[in-house]
Structure 1
Amino acid sequence: MTKSARSGKKTAKVTPATPAPAQAARPTSGALRHTPNTLPRPVMAGRDFLSNLDMTAAELRAVMDTAHSMKRGEWREVKPLAGLTLALIFEKASLRTRTTFDVGMYQLGGHAITLTNQEVGLGTRERVSDVARNLERWVDGVMARVYLQGNLQELAENASVPIINGLSDMLHPAQLLADYQTIEEEFGHNLNGLRVVYIGDGNNLANSHIHMGILTGTDVTIVTPVGYEPNAAVAMDAVKRGAKLTITNDLSAVEGADVLYTDVWISMGMEAEADIRRRAFKGYQVTPSMLDTIAKKGIFLHCLPAHYGEETVPEATEHRKSRVFDEAENRLHAQKALMYHLMGELQPRW
C-alpha cells in the first residue's frame, strides 16, 4: 500500500503501465536552470518506494528525466527540499547508499541523519512499528537499508512519511534507478527490446532487474548456477505481466548482451556459505574475455563493492566497456530525483 503526504491515509498501490514511449533527449549544454516556478510536479508525492513496481512506467520516466536533468546541473539554483529531514537507517554497512542519500539531501537543501543498527535495533531493541511511529513525528522521510523486506513493509504500514528501500534481502530498487540512468546514457530512452543479461547470484539485484524489465520493456536474462535462481514469485509475476524474461544456467546466454551486469556471490550475512558459493559459481566470473563476447557497443555494470577474484576482476571494471564508476556516480543523481518526487510537495513542519 502507498500513502498520501503527511495524512497517514493509505491509497491503493498503483499498477505499472506499459513501457512509456521514447522521448527525445534533452539538451546537454547545461544552459537550462530550474527556478521554483519551473520545477516538474512530483509524481509520487508522499508515497513509499519499497519496490520499482511502486511506480508506473510513466512515473519512472519522470524520475529518470529528473535524474538526467540534475546530472546536467539544471537544479543548482533551487533547493526544493529545504527544511526537510531524511532519516537513514542502516542495518547493513554502505559506502554508496550512505554517501549519496546524505549528499543528495544536502544538495536539495535538506538534511539527513544517520542511524546505525545499534541505535535503532529494528525488531530487537524496539518494535519496528514503534520506530516508525517515533520517526514520523520528527522527520519527513526514512531510507532504510535492512536485512528483511518485511521490516520495510512494517515501517511503511506504520509511518505516515515516505519509506525508501535502500536495500533488503528481496530487492534493491534505488540501485536499479542508477543502473537504468546509466543504461539510458548509453542507449537512449527507448529501451524496449534492449538485451540486459544479469550473471551470478539470483539475489535482490536479480529480482529488481526483473521488475525493471516489466517497466521498461527490456529483454532480461538471468544466468545463474543451478539452485541460485531469482525469487520464483517475482519471476512468475513478470511472466504474467508479459515481461520478456529468460532464466537459465547456460553461460552462453551472455553472448551478444547489450548490458552485462553482475553482483557479489556472497552478500552480507551469507559469509557462512562462502566456500560452497565459490564452488557453485566457478565459471560465472566476468572477465575481459567474457566482455569480448557481448555486443560491440555493449556495456558492463556492477553495483559495487566488487569482490575481485570472485564475481569479477579489476581488468573488467577498468575495461573500455565498463561503466561501473559512471553507474556509481548516478546513485547520487537518481536518488536525488527519487527523493524529490517523493518529498517535493512536503512543507517544513517547524
Structure 2
Amino acid sequence: MLQFETKVDANKLKGKDFLTLLDFSSDEIFYLLELAGNMKKAQKEGKISNILQGKSLGMIFENASTRTRVSFEVGMTQLGGHALFLSPRDLQIGRGEPISDTAQALSRYVDAIMIRTNSHEKVEELAKYSTVPVINALTDYYHPCQALADLLTIYEHKGTFKDIKVVYVGDGNNVAHSLVIGAAKVGMDIAVASPKGYEMKQEIIQKAKEVAVSTGSTVTVTNDPLEAVKDADIIYTDVWASMGYESEQKDREAAFAPFQVNSELVSNAKEDYLFLHCLPAHRGEEVTAEIIDSAHSVVFDEAENRLHVQKAVLASLIK
C-alpha cells in the first residue's frame, strides 16, 4: 500500500478539471497516487466499490485509442458508474458545432467529460464552458493520465522517488512534457535527450524547472542520449512518429536512429534500471525487442496502472 505524508482536503478536488499536472500541487499528486494504489489493492482483493454509482462519464475520442478507452470504460464500471463513448461521427462537433455549445449541452447529461484530441486549446475551451470536470486524456501538449501511471509504476518498483533518476530518450512530445512535470512535482531528477529540432517546448521546460526548484529535483535537457542515460534508474521512450506525424516517418527514422533504446545505450544505466514505454511500441525502431521484452521492462504494469490512476482521478473529481 502506498502511503505519503500529505495534507490534502479531498473535497477541494471535487469539480476540478484535470488538464495538466501543472494545475495540481505535489501533495495533490501524492494523494492521487496513494488513492490509486489503494484502489488497485482493493480491486485485486475483489472488493467492489460503488463510489460512482449513478454517475456517467462522456468520453470524446477524436483519435483512435486502445488503452485509454478500455481503461476509462472499465474504470467507471469498477466504480459503479457508466461510460459513454463518443466518436466524431457521434457528435455535432464534426459538423461544425462550437465546442462551447457541446460543452454546455454535455454538462447537462454527464457528470464528467473526458477528451482525447490533438488540440490542447480545444480541451481548454471545453473546460471553460463545461460545468462538470473535464479530463485531458491526451492532447498535442500533455498526457497527464499517462504521467500519473508512470509515477505509480516507478514507485511500486523502486519504493521511493528520492534519489531516482528518470531518463526520457526520444521525441519531446506530449508524453515527455507530462513526464518531466510529474517527475519534478514528486522530486525525481529527470533528463530528457532528444535530437536537435525535436526537443520539448521551451516554455514547458521552464515551467518544469521552476517546479523542480521547489521540490529539490533537477531537470536536464540534452541532445546526447549517452550522457543522459548515465546512471539512470529509469529509461523511458516513445514512438518516433506520434499520431499525426506519420508523414514524417522517414525523416524521423534518420534523426532518431542514434536514440534507439538498445543494449548499448542501456549499458550506461544502473544494473537494476527499469524500462518504461507508454505503448504502443514499435520493436526495432525506438526500442529493440531485447529491451522491451526483458526482465527490466515494466511496460505492462505501466499500462495496467492507467486504469487505477484514472479511477483515482474520476473518484476525486466527480464524487
- TM-score for the superposition, normalised by structure 2: 0.92
Does structure 1 residue 237 correspond to structure 2 residue 237? no
Aligned equivalent of 1:246, options 204, 217, 220: 220
Task: Decide whether aligned partners of structure 1 residues 121 and 178 sit closer, same or farther in structure 2, where only a CA change above 3 A counts.
Answer: farther
Runs of 4+ in 1 over 6 A off after TM superposition: none
Offset at residue 68 of structure 1 (A): 0.8
Task: Decide whether aligned partners of structure 1 residues 122 and 222 sit closer, same or farther in structure 2, where only a CA change above 3 A counts.
Answer: farther
- Aligned mates of 2:48, 2:250 — CA distance in 1: 52
Aligned equivalent of 1:292, options 256, 260, 267: 267
- Aligned mates of 2:35, 2:292 — CA distance in 1: 27
Match of 2:102 in 1: 131
- Aligned mates of 2:297, 2:81 — CA distance in 1: 33
- Aligned mates of 2:285, 2:133 — CA distance in 1: 37
Offset at residue 238 of structure 1 (A): 2.2
Counterpart mapping for 1:248-327 below 5 A: 248-252=222-226, 253-327=228-302
Aligned equivalent of 2:40, options 71, 90, 98: 71
Offset at residue 43 of structure 1 (A): 5.0
Counterpart mapping for 1:31-70 below 5 A: 41-70=10-39
Counterpart mapping for 1:159-174 below 5 A: 159-174=130-145
Offset at residue 53 of structure 1 (A): 1.5
- Aligned mates of 2:145, 2:172 — CA distance in 1: 18
Aligned equivalent of 2:79, options 108, 112, 120: 108
Does structure 1 residue 202 correspond to structure 2 residue 177? no
Task: Report the residue type matching 1:72 in the other structure.
Answer: K
- TM-score for the superposition, normalised by structure 1: 0.84
Identify which range, 178-187 or 211-220, moves more after superposition: 211-220
RMSD: 1.7
Aligned equivalent of 2:126, options 136, 155, 161: 155
Deviation readout 1:209-242 (Å, 9 max, x if unpaired) = 1211231111110000111110100111222342
- Contact (CA 8 Å) 1:262, 1:286: kept in 2 or not? yes
- Aligned mates of 1:300, 1:309 — CA distance in 2: 15
Match of 2:113 in 1: 142
- SS at 1:72 equivalent: helix
Identify which range, 122-131 or 160-169, moves more after superposition: 122-131
- SS at 2:49 equivalent: coil
Match of 1:119 in 2: 90
Does structure 1 residue 329 correspond to structure 2 residue 292? no
- Contact (CA 8 Å) 2:49, 2:78: kept in 1 or not? no
- Aligned mates of 2:190, 2:92 — CA distance in 1: 37
Report which of the two has the higher share of helix: 2
Deviation readout 1:21-49 (Å, 9 max, x if unpaired) = x848xxxxxxxxxxxxxxx9455111000
- Contact (CA 8 Å) 2:4, 2:31: kept in 1 or not? no
Deviation readout 1:33-90 (Å, 9 max, x if unpaired) = xxxxxxx945511100000122111111111111111111268242100000001111
Counterpart mapping for 1:168-187 below 5 A: 168-187=139-158
Offset at residue 289 of structure 1 (A): 3.6
Deviation readout 1:129-177 (Å, 9 max, x if unpaired) = 1110110010000110000000000000000100000000000000011
Match of 1:211 in 2: 181
Match of 2:62 in 1: 91
Deviation readout 1:101-148 (Å, 9 max, x if unpaired) = 000000000000000122226475311111101100100001100000
Task: Report the residue type matching 2:54 in the other structure.
Answer: G
- Contact (CA 8 Å) 1:122, 1:151: kept in 2 or not? no
Task: Decide whether aligned partners of structure 1 residues 203 and 121 sit closer, same or farther in structure 2, where only a CA change above 3 A counts.
Answer: farther
- Aligned mates of 2:261, 2:220 — CA distance in 1: 19
- SS at 1:73 equivalent: helix
- Aligned mates of 1:108, 1:41 — CA distance in 2: 17
Task: Decide whether aligned partners of structure 1 residues 276 and 136 sit closer, same or farther in structure 2, where only a CA change above 3 A counts.
Answer: same
Q: Return 5+ residue gaps in structure 2 as ranges.
A: none
- Contact (CA 8 Å) 2:18, 2:136: kept in 1 or not? yes
Task: Decide whether aligned partners of structure 1 residues 65 and 272 sit closer, same or farther in structure 2, where only a CA change above 3 A counts.
Answer: same
- Contact (CA 8 Å) 2:184, 2:219: kept in 1 or not? no
State percent identity of aligned pairs.
42
Match of 2:197 in 1: 227
